[in-house]
Every structure is written in structure tokens, then in C-alpha cells.
Amino acid sequence: MRRLTVPISDEEIRSLHVGDTVYLNGVIMTGRDAAHKFMIEHFIRQAPTPEEQPLHDELKRVLDGGVIYHCGPVVKKHEDGSWSFVAAGPTTSIREEVYQADVIRYFNLKGVIGKGGMAGRTLKACQEQPAVYFHAIGGAASLIAQSVKEVVAVHKLDFGVPEAMWVIRVEDFPVVVTMDSHGQSIHDKVQEASKAKFEELLAA
């Protein structure tokens, strides 16, 4: 078991291998379909507008050496205007495959959290960056929310609560490395084994 504090260094990322259990600490950000699409279209494919420059600069700061979490949280707003997470389960990550490699490279991400794994473009970006994919526990949304100690900020709330970019401080957020910076992916191995077993059953 490893404990890592965000921002994470290249050396720490390269020391991780598939199967490693990690507890994450520090500030991370949630981001799903709308957030990734927005970052690609407004910041990566073109220069930010003057109105969007402050958000661009804030995301560059938060995500530099940082971690993005594929999550659509359930949140509670308190009378003083602050927020807290009620549930924070992972979203299926493969939906972000079309965006993730570019987001990793542009923002200098070191980690992506989600469930179900990702595909070849993301794995290649993890090798080049370096970065890793952290698998969070599906079906444990309330348990994971206990790791969220503070909502630091929220951006693009007009996307809706699940799709907004929530900047959160976490303590001992439990994850497992399932794609590493050395080209290894547990998800690829599971798929290959499943395909082989399926073909074996068909041939029987």
C-alpha cells in the first residue's frame, strides 16, 4: 500500500505498477463528459477567450501534476453556501477515451480515476507523460465520499451538478493502479483472457 500526495512527481508515477494499492491525498478535480469536451474545445484546440482565461489558468494550476476523477457526485449545499459530497462513486471511464490523452498531455495530469479502465490512446499517453489510471471501487459511492474532506471550488455548475468540475480535497482516497506508465493494463489482460475463454467455449 502506498500513500501519495497530489501533486504527484514523475518519479512517483514511474514507481507505480499495475496492482498497486494507493491512498491519495491532496486536491483533485472531478470531470466527466461535459468537462472533457469543454476543455478540448475551449482550451486545447484553440486559445481561451479573455472571459475564459481565468478558468483556464485555474485548471492549469489545479491539474498540473494532478488527478482528474471521472465522477458525477451527489452533493449537499449548506446554509452558509458551502458544499459537501454525499456520494462520490466513479463513472465508467471509456466514454472519455476520445478526449483523455489530449487532456493528460495539455494539463500535465499524473492520474486519472474512474472505473472500467480505458483504451490504447490513454495507455500511450500514460507512458509518454508519465501518468497512471487509478481504478476506484464501483458501488461504494458513500464510502468514497467519506474521503472527500472539503469542496474547495466548483466550476461550470451550469453544466449541472454531475457534470460540473468539482475541486475537492481528499484524504486517503482508496484506488488501485490498473494502467501504469510502463504500458501495462489489467483491463487489456482481462479482455484477452475473456476472449480466449469465449473462443474456447464456442469450440467445445
Helix (H, G, I), strand (E, B) or coil at 9: coil
pLDDT at 172: 96
pLDDT at 195: 45
Domain around 193: 2-203
40-59 as b/e: b if 16+ CB within 10 A = beebbeeebeeeeeebbeeb
Grid cell digits, residue 113: 480515476
Mean pLDDT (10-residue bins), the chain, 204 residues: 96 97 98 97 96 98 98 94 93 96 98 95 97 88 88 97 97 96 80 46 54
pLDDT at 1: 86
Q: What would the DSSP string read from start to end of 153-165?
A: EEE-GGG-TTTSE
What whole-number distance in Å separates Cα of residue 89 and Cα of residue 62?
21
pLDDT at 198: 39
pLDDT at 156: 97
In CATH, what number is assigned to the domain containing residue 189?
Answer: 3.20.130.10
pLDDT at 4: 98
What whole-number distance in Å separates Cα of residue 143 and Cα of residue 133?
20
pLDDT at 196: 45
Q: Catalytic residue numbers?
A: 36
* Number of helical (H) and strand (E) elements in the chain, helices listed first: 7, 9
pLDDT at 144: 85
Count of beta carbons in the 10 Å neighbourhood of residue 19: 11
Read off the DSSP letter of residue 52. T
CA of residue 138 relative to chain centroid, distance: 14
- CA-closest candidate to residue 83, choices 143, 24, 166: 166
Query: Is the torsion defined by CA of 104, 110, 115, 119 positive or negative?
Result: positive
E strands of 18-164, at which residues? 21-30, 67-69, 74-77, 83-87, 111-114, 132-135, 148-155
Q: Domain tally for the chain? A: 1
